[in-house]
Structure 1
Amino acid sequence: MGAVTLGLNLEFSRFENGSFEWAMDQAAEIGYTHVEPMVYWGRELLSTAGYFHTVSMWDDPLLRMAAAARSRGLTISSLSSHAPLAKPDVSVDYLRQAVRCAAEVGSPMIMLDDGPLPDWTTEAENYTLMRYTLQEVCRSAEARGIKVAVETHGEYTATPERLQRLLDLVDSPALTVNLDTGNAYLSENDPHAWLEDIVGQVTHLHAKDIGHDDARRLRGKVRGMLGCACGEGVIDWDRIVRTLSAADHDVVLSVECGSRDAAVKSHAHLSELIAKYAG
């Protein structure tokens, strides 16, 4: 059996006005062992001024991301590097740089998804464009031993059938899945059964719970949002952890929630379940 470890997506700090370093401090203080930073290309005011958690890939990754993780005893589980797959003029160079950055900071994978889409293309054209992007990025990833994890987030990953069709566009050992439990639920799937069907392809999992009120209001209307504390919503975390614990490879549960308080509660709830099924 593989190991299930607990990480924190740094988006929890989005509404806290905290910097990357602040978010890393909080993750370590709460007790997480892994983190999932978000990278971007270029410069923007809020991150540069210390009011947002994202890190520019124009910065030296070893001198900022890797050093920040090492000094706090944290491991980077993935780089959140979402880019529109059907817009290769935007995505290919950006994602290649994310792959190089991941290799340099010791992250085993990068994270991406399938949207937003061009407003003038057909579905057939979108698949061709996404295949081009995935093929180019996977080539770079394979050469560096990096995984490319497709997140369940948009129109082309909204159901098990759509996700598999996207994965089948490219034959690459680098191409894997980040199942987002909350997004899967919002798209009117059963995330527990979906995970059980594809656990062999899942190398990373966004541990996202959806509050009961949000589930009633938003299911079938949106495909993504920040979650509530794990254990306070609609997801059966015992079933999720049990499934991952039986897998033949390691998986990081990366909590994606909307506040530090939710991150604290999620850590307590999921740590107990991980300990229950360990060994």
Structure 2
Amino acid sequence: MAAIQVGLNTEAFRHADKPLEYSLAAIRGQGYRFCELNMLNGRDLLCEAGYYGAVSMERDPLEVRAVVERFGLKVSAVSAHAPMAQPEISIPFLVRAIEYADALGATCVCTDEGVVPDWMTKRQAYDMFYYTLRRVLPAAERHKVHIALEPHQKYSVKLKTYLEILDLVKSPYFNCNPDTGNIFMAGQDPYAFLEAIAKRIVHVHAKDIGGVVMGDRGKVTGVPSGCACGEGVLDWKRIIAILRKSGFKGVLSVECSSEEQGRVSIEHLNKVLKTK
């Protein structure tokens, strides 16, 4: 990949009551070349009935890849969030997501540490994260698919503890998927955060923040999706400058709340990317 690209997470269509194919057609129609898919186990009635575009990992990944490619798209990453403090859940889920991503031609599995039980101490949680990562990363290395840690829960949204989690296990396939909106909403400085992890960024959730959610800043560990990129408080020229300086040549995967916000986001980000 020669330069920074822009993609759209299919969660932008979660309120549209439409199937995956609708989302893919809209994503390509807006000018995107990449999409990010949301994964689940088993079967879901809403997905089966065509009201939501999540992908069951029981489906043949080559079938799904063919559907994506029919719309002229590539998969940048799969979103496969799993609670690392519960290895009985997260290990099989993440390993399957790695295998699935490889078959799709994606290079990243985006995940976070998940919700940690109230009774679990930080040390106990880190021990669970370590165990899960040691079990999962060999699969990532075999398939050459990154486990891309997203700031989204109480430890990963703070830079200090995010770096501690990154240091638990050494692997060339354990890297970063910063979510710009989550970092901001957690009360952190998104630009300092990006600079601290820049060399390990393999994928980015491009999320802008504005409107009513602003009042929750510092009280939450993130939001499901933000406003259109360029319509919130984040400085995308500054963000892209940080990424370029580090040599990043991956995908900015937009996370927003609607099809229209997806259209506005790609127009804004492409404009910024054309500015040197």
Q: Same fold (TM over 0.5)?
A: yes
For residue 55 of structure 2, what is the amino acid of its counterpart? V
Q: TM-score, normalised by structure 2?
A: 0.97
CA contact (8 A) 2:95 2:136 kept: yes
| Rounded Cα–Cα distance in structure 1 between residues aligned with 2:192 and 2:211 | 20
Is 1:188 the equivalent of 2:187? Answer: yes
In structure 1, what is the equivalent of residue 4 of structure 2? 4
For residue 230 of structure 2, what is the amino acid of its counterpart? G
Displacement of 1:212: 4.3
| Rounded Cα–Cα distance in structure 2 between residues aligned with 1:100 and 1:213 | 39
CA contact (8 A) 2:37 2:77 kept: yes
Gaps of 5+ in 2: none
In structure 2, what is the equivalent of residue 135 of structure 1? 134
In structure 1, what is the equivalent of residue 203 of structure 2? 204
In structure 2, what is the equivalent of residue 61 of structure 1? 61
Displacement of 1:89: 0.6
Displacement of 1:119: 3.5
Is 1:258 the equivalent of 2:257? Answer: yes
Is 1:121 the equivalent of 2:129? Answer: no
| Rounded Cα–Cα distance in structure 2 between residues aligned with 1:241 and 1:248 | 11
Displacement of 1:22: 1.1
Displacement of 1:132: 0.8
Q: Report SS of the residue matched to 2:66.
A: helix
CA contact (8 A) 1:152 1:183 kept: yes
In structure 2, what is the equivalent of residue 223 of structure 1? 221
In structure 1, what is the equivalent of residue 245 of structure 2? 246
Displacement of 1:2: 5.8
Gaps of 5+ in 1: none
Identity value in percent = 39
Displacement of 1:258: 0.3
| Rounded Cα–Cα distance in structure 2 between residues aligned with 1:149 and 1:77 | 12
| Rounded Cα–Cα distance in structure 2 between residues aligned with 1:70 and 1:224 | 31
The root-mean-square deviation of aligned C-alpha atoms, in Å, is 1.3
Is 1:70 the equivalent of 2:76? Answer: no
Q: Report SS of the residue matched to 2:222.
A: coil
| Rounded Cα–Cα distance in structure 1 between residues aligned with 2:88 and 2:133 | 13
| Rounded Cα–Cα distance in structure 1 between residues aligned with 2:94 and 2:233 | 33
CA contact (8 A) 2:226 2:257 kept: yes
User: Deviation string for 1:104-135 (max 9, x for gaps)?
Assistant: 11011101101111243222111100111111
For residue 127 of structure 1, what is the amino acid of its counterpart? Y
CA contact (8 A) 2:201 2:248 kept: no
In structure 2, what is the equivalent of residue 47 of structure 1? 47
Q: Report SS of the residue matched to 2:80.
A: strand
